[in-house]
Structure 1
Amino acid sequence: MRDEPQDAPYRPDAAITAISDWIGDAVEPAAFPAHQLRFRNTRWDRAVGLGDLSDETWLDHFGRFVPLPDNLPRPLALRYHGHQFRNYNPEIGDGRGFLFGQLRDGNGRMLDLGTKGSGRTPYSRTADGRLTLKGAVREILATEMLEALGVYTSKTFSVVETGEELWRGDEPSPTRSAVLVRLGHSHMRIGTFQRLAVLDETDHLAQLVDYCLAQYPGPLPPADAPGHDEPAVILLHQAVERLADLAASYMVAGFVHGVLNSDNMAITGESFDYGPWRWLPRWDPTFTAAYFDHNGLYAFGRQPEAIRWNLGQLAMALRPLAEAEPLIAALARYGACYQQAMVRRFCWRLGVESREMESDTALIEQAEETMRTEGIGPDRYFHRERGLDGEPVSLLIEEVEDLWSAISERDDWEPLHAKIAAIRQLGQALGEPPVPSGHLPGENP
C-alpha cells in the first residue's frame, strides 16, 4: 500500500525573499469576475497545513490571491530564459503565472505554490495571461496519473473557474477560463541559470547555486569525482541524477510530456507544466504529443536524449563557476544513472524484485519487444503482467476528451471525480514508489 501524505502544520518559509530582487518581479494577480471552486486537492492540502481552510477562505487565497499568513507579501513572476525546441529565447519568463507562496511539509521539504492563468506579467508579451478550464482539467488528470505511476511530479493543488470567455486557436472558442495553483518542489529551472549566465550575472549565479543546494539538498557526488566539493559541481551531479530518474519515469509510465524545453526543466527533477501531453496508445518510440513538434524532437523515445541535452545547457550555464572537466564528468554519469533508474522503476511497476543489471535490462528489452509485437502500450502490459487487468486504468486522449465533453456540454463533473478516484486507487495498488534518484530518504514524491 502507498503511504498517504502526512498531515502537517502550516509552516510558511518564504526563503526566496533573500534573492527576490533579481530572480523575479512583484506582480498583481488578475481580478476575475467569478470564483467557483472546481478542484481542491484534499490529499495534499493537509500535508502543508491548509486542510482546515473553509472553501471561502480557500477561494480568497487561491482565486483572489490574498497573501497567505507570514508568506510572500506579493506574488513573484520569475525571470528565466530557455531553449525552446533547441532555439534560444531570451524573451520568456512567467507570462501567466507567479510564485504565490513557499512552505514546508512534514519532512521539512521546501514546497512552492505557483499559479497558471493568474493574469498578465512583464513576460506575457501579446498573451492574455489566462488559462482555459480545459487546460486546467487536463493538468489535474496528468498530475494525478503521474503521481499514481510513481513519477516525481508537481501536484494540482487547486482549480477555480473564473467566469471569463477565452479565445484560443487550439480549442473551440469561446471557452471557459480558470486559474490553477500547483504545489511543487521548486520553480527553479535550467532556464533560470541560463538567463544569469547569458547576462553575465556571475555573483547572482553563485547565489542561486547556494540557494538551491540549501533548499533542495541531495546526496553528495562520488568522492572520487573531480571537483566533488565545489557547489556548482555538486548541483550538476544532483541535477543529473534527478533528471535521469525523471526521464526513466516517463518511459516506464508510457508518458510523453510534449515540450521538454530547458525552461520546462526543474533542477529538482520534478515534472511540471503540462500542455500537449499524451499517454502511449501502443509502444511507439516515434509517438509525439505536440502537434507543432513537426520533427519529433520530443517524441516518446527521444525524451531521455532531450533531457540529457538540457542538462548540457545547465552545465554550460554553470561554466563561470567551475572548470569544464568536473562539469563534463558530472554529465558523463547520465547514461548510467538513467539505466539504473529504468531498472528500479520498471521492476517497481512490474511488482518484482530487481536482480542484477544485465538480467533486468534483458527483462526490459523483452517487455518492449512484447509491446511492439502485440501493439499495446505500457498501461495494458503492466496491468496484465501484474494481475491488475480486471480493472485497468488508462488515460488515453479519447478518455480525456470524453471527460471534458461531460463538463463542457452538461457541466457534469462526476466522470472526472470518478476518474480521479480510480487513478488514486491504482496508485494504492501499485504501492510506494522508489525514492527518486538524487533525493534524500524520507522525501515523499
Structure 2
Amino acid sequence: MNAPITAPAGTALPGLAWDHGFARLGPRYYTHLHPTPLPAAHWVGRSESTARLLGLDSPAWHGDDTLQVLTGNAVPEGTEPLASVYSGHQFGVWAGQLGDGRAILLGETRNGFEIQLKGAGRTPYSRMGDGRAVLRSSIREFLCSEAMHALGVPTTRALSVTGSPASVRRETIETAAVVARVAPSFVRFGHFEHFAAQGDEDALRALADYVIDRYYPQCREVGADTPGGAYAALLAAVTERTADLLAHWQAVGFCHGVMNTDNMSILGLTIDYGPFQFLDAFDPGHICNHSDHQGRYAFNRQPQVAYWNLYCLAQALYPLIDSEPATLAALEPYKARFPAQFLLRMREKLGLLQPREDDGALLDRLLALLAQDKVDYPIFWRRLAQAVAAGDFGPVRDLFLDRKTADAWLLSYSERTIEQNQAQAADLMLNTNPKYVLRNHVAQGAIAAAQQGDFGELQVVQGLIEAPFDEHPLLAHHADFPPDWAAHIEISCSS
C-alpha cells in the first residue's frame, strides 16, 4: 500500500489542531494506516459552512496542500489515520465483521469533530473491495449531507469532494473521488455489536464508557442507583435520538435506502449516504434502493426498522446492562416518542400553531389522499404554505385527481386553522416546507456535468440546497415536477 507523503507542518488544513479520542481506545478498535494516493487530484466541491464549523482558515484552506490532504495524498502532521472495525446486520442478516472498508479517519480536531476520508483506498476491512469511491456517489453524498443539514435534519457533514482521473470499476468504468466527511463521532451500532459478538466484554465496556463520557455524560447521573446504570441510560438516550431522527426523515420524505445496523449512528445522525432518495410522488411503499429486492427498507418501513436496529444495539449492550427489564425499558420510549415527534413536525408543516387532539386524524386523512393520488410530496407542501400566505388554495387543489376528497380535506383544514394568525402560520410553513430538495434528477444533472469536467451545475445545486426555503426565482425549474426519465434512475448500493 503506497504511503502518502507527510505535509509540511502548518501548511495543511490551516487553523486546525488535532486530538485523538477514539484512537486512545487502543488497537482492538482499529488499524493504523495511511490513505492510498490518487493521481492528478482536483477540487470538485467545497462546503464553506462546514469549514467554518471546523474552524478552518478561509480562504487559505482552498490551497493545494489542503487538496492533497483531503484526497489522501498527504497526511498532515499531528494526525493518526486509522480505519475502525465493526460488525453488523445487513438486510436483517448477521454479516459478521465489517469495518471501514473505504473510509480512513484522519483524526479528531481539538474542537471536537472527526474528519474521515471516504474513498481513500483499501483497508484491512475492505472485504475484497477496492477501497475507492466514484465521482457519482461522492457528489451525491456531498450534496445530501449539506442538504439535510440545511433542512435541520441531524446528519454527518461533508467538507469537500475531490476527484481524480484514476479508473474505478463499478457497473462501468468510472473515475475516483474522495469525500471528506465530518461528524462529532462515526461510532455506529455495529461497533458495539462487534465486541458483543466476540464476547469481549472488556472492549465493549471501554467503548461504551468512551461514548458515555464523551457524548452522553448525563447518563452517569441518570443511571446512578438504577437497574442497568449508565449503560441502560445510554441505550435510552440513543433510542430517543433515533426516534427523533426517524421523525425528521419521515416528515421531509427522505428514504435512506440501506438501514443496516452498521449504518446507524450512535449519536442519532444520518450517516452513510448510499442509495438515498427524497420522495417525488408520495408513495409510502417506495423503495429507493434497487438492491433491496424484498423492500425491507421501503419508506414506510423505516421507523420499524430503526426500532429493530435499536433492539440489536440493546442485545449488544445487554452484557453491560445485565437486566432484561432495564434493557427493554430503555427501548420503550421509542414507541411513544417517534409518533409524538413525527406529529410535532407535521403540525409545523401544516402550520398548526396550537395543537389539538384531532390533528392526528386530519394528518392521516391527508397522507392517505396524497398516497391515493401519488401527489408530488415537496410541491404539495410548498404550495400549501403559499396558499396559506396568499389565501388561494386553487394551486393545491390542482395537484389532486380526486377533487371531491381533496376539497373535503381542504375544507376541514380551513376550519381547523380559521382562528389562527394566518401570517404567523404562513411564515412557519414557508420556513418548514422547502422549495428545493435534492431530487434524484437534480443530483443527476450535477453529476453528468461533473463527469464532463464542468462543476458549475454542482455549485448551482449546492447553492439551492444550502438555502432550500428561499425562492431563487431564476432557478425555479429545479423545484418543478421531475421529468419522466427521472423515474428510471436506478440507485443501488454501489451509488
Q: TM-score range by the shorter chain?
A: 0.7 to 0.9
- Give, as a single letter, the amino acid of the residue that structure 2 aligns with 1:38: V
Q: What residue number does 1:187 align with?
A: 186
- Give, as a single letter, the amino acid of the residue that structure 2 aligns with 1:381: F
Q: What residue number does 2:46 align with?
A: 40
Secondary structure of the residue that 1:177 maps to in structure 2? strand
TM-aligned CA deviation for residue 117 of structure 1: 0.5
1:85 aligns with 2:128: no
Q: 2:19 aligns with which of 13, 20, 26?
A: 13
Name the CA distance, whole Å, in 2 between partners of 1:214 and 1:422.
38
Q: 2:64 aligns with which of 27, 41, 56?
A: 56
In the alignment, is the contact (CA less than 8 A) between 2:224 and 2:230 conserved in 1? no
**39 and 228 in structure 1: CA distance in 2 versus 1, 3 angstrom threshold:** farther
Name the CA distance, whole Å, in 1 between partners of 2:95 and 2:46.
35
- Give, as a single letter, the amino acid of the residue that structure 2 aligns with 1:89: A
1:41-440 equivalence runs, <5 A: 41-52=47-58, 53-64=61-72, 66-70=74-78, 72-73=79-80, 75-105=81-111, 110-169=112-171, 173-217=172-216, 220=219, 227=226, 230-322=229-321, 323-353=323-353, 355-356=355-356, 358-387=357-386, 392-408=435-451, 410-426=452-468
Q: What residue number does 2:417 align with?
A: none
**394 and 213 in structure 1: CA distance in 2 versus 1, 3 angstrom threshold:** same
Name the CA distance, whole Å, in 2 between partners of 1:85 and 1:65.
35
Larger % of helix: which? 2
**381 and 243 in structure 1: CA distance in 2 versus 1, 3 angstrom threshold:** same
In the alignment, is the contact (CA less than 8 A) between 1:146 and 1:253 conserved in 2? no
Secondary structure of the residue that 1:385 maps to in structure 2? helix
In the alignment, is the contact (CA less than 8 A) between 1:228 and 1:234 conserved in 2? no
TM-aligned CA deviation for residue 354 of structure 1: 5.3
In the alignment, is the contact (CA less than 8 A) between 1:221 and 1:228 conserved in 2? no
Q: Structure 1: where are the runs of 5+ without partners?
A: 1-7, 430-445
| Stretch deviating more after TM superposition (317-326 or 61-70) | 61-70
Secondary structure of the residue that 1:89 maps to in structure 2? strand
Name the CA distance, whole Å, in 2 between partners of 1:303 and 1:258.
9
Name the CA distance, whole Å, in 2 between partners of 1:35 and 1:407.
14
RMSD of aligned C-alpha atoms? 2.5
Instruction: Give per-residue Cα distances to partners, 1:47-84, cap 9 Å, x unaligned.
Output: 211133242121132123544454x33x1111000000
Instruction: Give per-residue Cα distances to partners, 1:278-322, cap 9 Å, x unaligned.
Output: 111222121011111111100000000011000000000011111
- Give, as a single letter, the amino acid of the residue that structure 2 aligns with 1:243: T
Name the CA distance, whole Å, in 2 between partners of 1:37 and 1:175.
17
TM-aligned CA deviation for residue 219 of structure 1: 5.4
In the alignment, is the contact (CA less than 8 A) between 2:287 and 2:299 conserved in 1? yes
Secondary structure of the residue that 1:102 maps to in structure 2? strand
Instruction: Give per-residue Cα distances to partners, 1:137-179, cap 9 Å, x unaligned.
Output: 111222122222221011111111022011112xxx3211101
- Give, as a single letter, the amino acid of the residue that structure 2 aligns with 1:156: A
Q: Which has the higher contact order (CA 8 A, sep 6+)?
A: 1
In the alignment, is the contact (CA less than 8 A) between 1:194 and 1:317 conserved in 2? yes
In the alignment, is the contact (CA less than 8 A) between 1:189 and 1:263 conserved in 2? yes
Name the CA distance, whole Å, in 2 between partners of 1:340 and 1:306.
18
Name the CA distance, whole Å, in 2 between partners of 1:308 and 1:237.
12
- Give, as a single letter, the amino acid of the residue that structure 1 aligns with 2:468: L
TM-aligned CA deviation for residue 372 of structure 1: 1.9
Name the CA distance, whole Å, in 2 between partners of 1:10 and 1:229.
39
Name the CA distance, whole Å, in 1 between partners of 2:461 and 2:254.
18
Instruction: Give per-residue Cα distances to partners, 1:370-424, cap 9 Å, x unaligned.
Output: 422442243112211222599932333222222222222x422222211111112
In the alignment, is the contact (CA less than 8 A) between 1:254 and 1:377 conserved in 2? no
In the alignment, is the contact (CA less than 8 A) between 1:276 and 1:290 conserved in 2? yes
Name the CA distance, whole Å, in 2 between partners of 1:349 and 1:413.
34
Larger radius of gyration: 2
Tell me the matched-pair count.
411
In the alignment, is the contact (CA less than 8 A) between 1:225 and 1:329 conserved in 2? no
TM-aligned CA deviation for residue 427 of structure 1: 5.0
Name the CA distance, whole Å, in 1 between partners of 2:65 and 2:121.
20
Name the CA distance, whole Å, in 2 between partners of 1:183 and 1:286.
32
Name the CA distance, whole Å, in 2 between partners of 1:51 and 1:336.
44
- Give, as a single letter, the amino acid of the residue that structure 1 aligns with 2:134: T
Name the CA distance, whole Å, in 1 between partners of 2:155 and 2:348.
17
In the alignment, is the contact (CA less than 8 A) between 1:162 and 1:178 conserved in 2? yes
**228 and 344 in structure 1: CA distance in 2 versus 1, 3 angstrom threshold:** farther
In the alignment, is the contact (CA less than 8 A) between 1:48 and 1:104 conserved in 2? no
